Structure 1
Amino acid sequence: MRFGLFIPQGWRHSLTDVPPEQHWETMLSLLHYADNAAAGEPIPGGPWAWDSVWVYDHFHTTPVPSTEATHEAWTLMAAFAAASQRVKLGQMCTCMSYRNPAYLAKVAATVDAISGGRAQMGIGAGWYEHEWRAYGYGFPRAGERIRALDEGVQIMTQMWRTGSSGRFDGETYQVDGALCYPQPLQQLPVGDGGAEVPSIPLWIAGGGEKKTLRIAARFAQYTNFAGDPETFSHKSRVLEQHCADVGTDFGAITRSADYNVVIGENQAEVDDRFAWIESHFRKHTPGERGEQEIANWRTGPLVGTPEQIVEALTDFRSRGMTYAITYFPNAAGDRDQIELFQRQVIPALQD
């Protein structure tokens, strides 16, 4: 199993206790920490392996919009690329309709060049209606957003592999000879022969069974869908059937999931973590939405002692989940939970 780490960028009120002039320093410090961990350098606790770092592609805070900072994802990708050496760099997930796909392909290829071949493309149809309307995108019905995802993925894939979009006349996007040079540094196998072409790994995010998972079956190297263990297994079976239908290798797609992590050496420590979560969200998102956010933390599968979390992840791994992207509360101010997870959870699950 491989592991990714979300860097606090503000979207989930993760920088509210940090002065604005210290936001970048805070993000950079955690990026360097994860980058050193990936190298096995001597940081407290030993040589752990964070495979990747992640941010969210959102403009306004959640669960309610506020004036608290939310730093933009692809700007951070470029900055992270220049400021790190080893970890992969992802977004969970880029909203297809927030940027023209030809432009986005060019941005991602540039990040790949800066990073030396570490860019990842987490991509989805988008859902945060307030952002869409506030930024002037409207809010198309779900079918239209998913069609934009499908067409956009086709355009980006073509541009990375060949250097040009060619002519594409879709219902949502039309491009004609958009060039993408430099092409990505990364090489990915295509077709039955396994020939490698320039490309950036696609993480298709979402569990829509009729369309999103079919797009994933056609184009993804990774999927990302949430749910309890039974739901994860069900979505996996749906994806497998789509792969059979379109003639792709289900086994070649890495299935991932995102998790809130609340970890303590014992129940008393776990309770202390929840006391902070409750205080934080009641302060910054009071009312029903804040209480729902607290409930989401309490009911997550990765809550408890290291032994309990290893047991939960072992069950997910038996269902085919081999990549966990983790989000820790108060990561901007306290790395104790991250370090405990590194010391006692990651080594028990690494391949």
Structure 2
Amino acid sequence: MHFGVFVPQGWRMDLVELAGPVEQWEAMTAVARAADTGPWDSIWLFDHFHTVPEPARETVFEAWTATAALARDTQRVKLGQMVGCNGYRNPALYAKMAATVDVASHGRLYAGLGAGWAEDEWTAYGYPWSSLKDRMGSFRESVELIHRLWTEEDVVFHGKYHSVDKPYVEPRRKPPLWIGGGGEQVTLKLVAQYADACNFGTGQVDVIEHKLSVLRKHCESVGRDYNEIVKSTSLNLFPISPGADPVTATAKARGRYSVEEFREIGAGGGVGLADILTTGEIRSRLERLEEIGVQYVILYIPGVAYDHDPLHLLSSDVVPAFS
């Protein structure tokens, strides 16, 4: 099992304790560099413009420019987005951007892509918000087109949502494509056809088991080797040592928040709360995920911008156990 960690970029209100954007940027970079010197395989960013759980006038660093900069601030770790929003960039531009960052990082890019879901961001930034059917149709065309632009020359494509006429996507590189999402009719079929890795961001064993069974059937239908695809999930958690008091252990990372607020912010406004778990409890959870076929876990650590100790605790007491 391999591990990645999200760097704090502001989306989950995880830079608000810092004085200004430069200090916030340096805090994000410091976490990236800390991961670069540890046992982590990768660092990750979200592709969002507004904070969660509610939009607030707070810093959220843009994913692709941040990825490019962090590529030059690190030496070893891979860099990815979980995941890039298809609606924010023309697929040919996406292919060009990803190839550029892959070169800048000397081949360390994991290119993440998903259909997108944050309606408030789309409308605020002037992207037309369409039906789920149209967003998935656009996503389907984009994945095929990006794959072709990375692997073919003189691509001509005239779809319902996207068109290109022999663009020169140079440098022409093919970084690993990570597709996020668990839609069984479109997304998982695209994973089977084109992806190098997939991500089900739930961390829920029963859900992941089901999604993997669906993916296996799609692979059989299209003649793809199921074992070629990296299966990943994401977890939101704050590690503590066995016997540690959760209130005391999270104090530096929590800042202005109560423990309950801290757990809610750490979950990104999604279903449930970020977990505060001992290292032993985390290892047990990871062992169960490994048993069902999860090969890669991306961890989000609330408050890591203010306290690197949880990152170091995972580095010493959790990640090596699965090496």
Normalising by structure 2, we get a TM-score of: 0.92
Query: Residues 276 and 296 of structure 1: is their aligned pair in 2 closer, same or farther, counting only changes over 3 Å?
Result: farther
- Whether 2:310 is the aligned partner of 1:326: answer no
Alignment partner, residue 172 of structure 2: 183
- Whether 2:306 is the aligned partner of 1:296: answer no
Q: Output the amino acid matched with 1:175.
A: V
Q: List per-residue Cα deviations over 1:15-36 (Å, max 9, x = no partner).
A: 1011222122112212111112
1:109-258 paired onto structure 2 within 5 Å: 109-164=99-154, 166-184=155-173, 199-227=174-202, 228-258=204-234
Q: 2: CA distance between counterparts of 1:168 and 1:84?
A: 37
**CA shift for structure 1 position 277:** 7.7
Report the secondary structure of 1:312's partner residue.
helix
Q: Tell whether the 8 Å contact from 1:226 to 1:232 is kept in structure 2 after alignment.
A: no
Alignment partner, residue 23 of structure 1: 24
**CA shift for structure 1 position 2:** 0.4
**CA shift for structure 1 position 273:** 4.9
Q: 2: CA distance between counterparts of 1:291 and 1:108?
A: 28
Query: Residues 291 and 223 of structure 1: is their aligned pair in 2 closer, same or farther, counting only changes over 3 Å?
Result: closer
1:88 aligned residue (71, 78, 86): 78
Query: Residues 70 and 102 of structure 1: is their aligned pair in 2 closer, same or farther, counting only changes over 3 Å?
Result: same
Q: 2: CA distance between counterparts of 1:271 and 1:22?
A: 26
- Whether 2:2 is the aligned partner of 1:2: answer yes
Q: Output the amino acid matched with 1:31.
A: A
RMSD of Structure 2 on Structure 1 (CA): 2.3
Report the secondary structure of 2:236's partner residue.
strand
Q: 2: CA distance between counterparts of 1:282 and 1:179?
A: 52
Report the secondary structure of 1:297's partner residue.
coil
**CA shift for structure 1 position 291:** 10
Q: Tell whether the 8 Å contact from 1:6 to 1:327 is kept in structure 2 after alignment.
A: yes
Query: Residues 281 and 204 of structure 1: is their aligned pair in 2 closer, same or farther, counting only changes over 3 Å?
Result: farther
Alignment partner, residue 193 of structure 1: none
**Identity value in percent:** 39
Normalising by structure 1, we get a TM-score of: 0.85
Report the secondary structure of 2:98's partner residue.
helix
- Whether 2:315 is the aligned partner of 1:342: answer yes
5+ unaligned residues in a row in structure 2: which ranges?
A: none
Report the secondary structure of 1:65's partner residue.
coil
Report the secondary structure of 1:326's partner residue.
strand
Report the secondary structure of 1:321's partner residue.
coil
Q: 1: CA distance between counterparts of 2:125 and 2:193?
A: 31
1:260 aligned residue (224, 236, 240): 236
Q: Which has the higher contact order (CA 8 A, sep 6+)?
A: 2
Query: Residues 229 and 275 of structure 1: is their aligned pair in 2 closer, same or farther, counting only changes over 3 Å?
Result: farther
Q: List per-residue Cα deviations over 1:109-162 (Å, max 9, x = no partner).
A: 110111101111110000011001111112111121111111111111111112
Q: 2: CA distance between counterparts of 1:54 and 1:313?
A: 19
- Whether 2:289 is the aligned partner of 1:316: answer yes
Q: Tell whether the 8 Å contact from 2:110 to 2:178 is kept in structure 1 after alignment.
A: yes
Q: 2: CA distance between counterparts of 1:79 and 1:3?
A: 21
Q: List per-residue Cα deviations over 1:52-97 (Å, max 9, x = no partner).
A: 0001000000111010000000001110112211111100110011
5+ unaligned residues in a row in structure 1: which ranges?
A: 38-48, 185-198
Q: 2: CA distance between counterparts of 1:23 and 1:117?
A: 27
Q: 2: CA distance between counterparts of 1:201 and 1:290?
A: 28
Q: Output the amino acid matched with 2:185.
A: K
Alignment partner, residue 100 of structure 1: 90
Query: Residues 174 and 259 of structure 1: is their aligned pair in 2 closer, same or farther, counting only changes over 3 Å?
Result: same
Report the secondary structure of 2:210's partner residue.
helix
- Whether 2:295 is the aligned partner of 1:307: answer no
